[in-house]
A = this chain, B = another copy of it.
Amino acid sequence: MHPFDEAIGLQALVPGEFAGATHPAYANMVGPFGGTTAAQLLQAALLHPERQGEPVALTVNFAAPVAEGEIRFHARPARTNRSTQHWLIEARQADAVVATASAVMAVRRETWSAGEARMPDPVPDVATLTRMRLQAPIDWPKRYDMRFIEGGFPAFDEQEQAHSRSCLWVRDEPERPMDFASLAALCDSFFPRIYVRRRRHTPIGTVTLSTYFHADSHLLVQVGSRHVLGVAKALNFRHGYFDQTGEVWSPEGQMLASTPTGTARLQRAFICCKALATSVTSSGPL
């Protein structure tokens, strides 16, 4: 079984109630990788017997640090329409809310379609790039094959950069066919923009993250387990908070998801972040 499937596995209890747990393969510096938490929240709605359609939007609010161990998920359809369904999902530990989410499911149909944003072009072929090896004691980045074209995990040399843009080819490691849960997790896999911009240890915690699924399940099947192109940037850093705007593209240049959110908090004191002070081998031609 793929570690991601182990990590997002949920056990159905009473209707709408699921039990899951953190997974050591996706451990972050403190608690789990937010992407797996986001995927578990989405999964609670996807596994619900009343679910109709496929995800078009997901907003996850990271309300508190998630502790290692069991997490209870409660999913309820707030409103079911003919073609859309609105979900509210909560994650609890020790009876306190640690994360909330809303999701919109929809029955899609073919309409006039057109891309407006374009995938960065040209980008180097995946095979010409080397995989990033992060020499830090955090596990979740090892679950991704990340090949940076620009803006990789920085050396913390405190050389402030003019921008925080990143561009990389990324897939699950080991390979796993993409589905909505793994796409939701991948959308949280961009390293904090402040690292790329300031190249200094800055403890942060994401407080909210939205993901818009432009892909339907047919398109995800076409993507399969290949690398997808991730692009991320920040718009603004101000008074303790910054945002992040991400895009995920299929190898053929179809937008799979935009994740234009991720208001993250700059924290002054966050002791465990020192774990990141270990050496980093960045990858790619830049």
Whether A111 is near chain B, meaning CB under 8 Å from some CB there, is yes
Identify which of B79, B96, B98, B109 contacts A64 (C-beta below 8 A).
B79
In the complex, what residues of B have CB within 8 A of residue A197's CB?
Answer: 114, 116
Q: Tell whether, in the assembled complex, residue A234 and residue B116 are in contact, meaning their CB atoms are under 8 Å apart.
A: yes
In the complex, what residues of B have CB within 8 A of residue A265's CB?
Answer: 83-84, 106
Q: Tell whether, in the assembled complex, residue A86 and residue B97 are in contact, meaning their CB atoms are under 8 Å apart.
A: yes
In the complex, what residues of B have CB within 8 A of residue A117's CB?
Answer: 235-236
Complex CA gap A213/B114 in Å reads: 30
Whether A240 is near chain B, meaning CB under 8 Å from some CB there, is yes
**Secondary structure call for the A interface:** strand
Whether A163 is near chain B, meaning CB under 8 Å from some CB there, is yes
Given contacts A247-B235, A260-B261, whether A102 and B59 have CB atoms under 8 Å apart is yes
In the complex, what residues of B have CB within 8 A of residue A163's CB?
Answer: 116
In the complex, what residues of B have CB within 8 A of residue A83's CB?
Answer: 240, 265
Complex CA gap A60/B70 in Å reads: 29
User: Which residues of chain A (240-283) have a CB below 8 Å from chain B?
Assistant: 240-241, 243, 245, 247, 255, 258, 260-261, 263, 265-266, 268
Q: Taking each of A88, A109, A207, A240, which has the highest tally of chain B beta carbons within 10 Å of its own beta carbon?
A: A240
In the complex, what residues of B have CB within 8 A of residue A114's CB?
Answer: 197, 236-238
Complex CA gap A229/B221 in Å reads: 41
In the complex, what residues of B have CB within 8 A of residue A182's CB?
Answer: none
Q: List 18 A-B contacts (CB under 8 A).
A: A56-B207, A57-B263, A63-B86, A78-B90, A83-B240, A84-B207, A86-B97, A88-B88, A88-B100, A104-B263, A106-B240, A109-B239, A117-B236, A210-B260, A214-B235, A214-B241, A235-B247, A260-B261
Which of A's residues lie within 8 Å of B, judged by CB?
A: 56-57, 59, 61, 63-64, 78-79, 81, 83-84, 86, 88, 90, 96-98, 100, 102, 104, 106, 108-117, 163-164, 197-198, 207-208, 210, 212, 214, 216, 233-241, 243, 245, 247, 255, 258, 260-261, 263, 265-266, 268
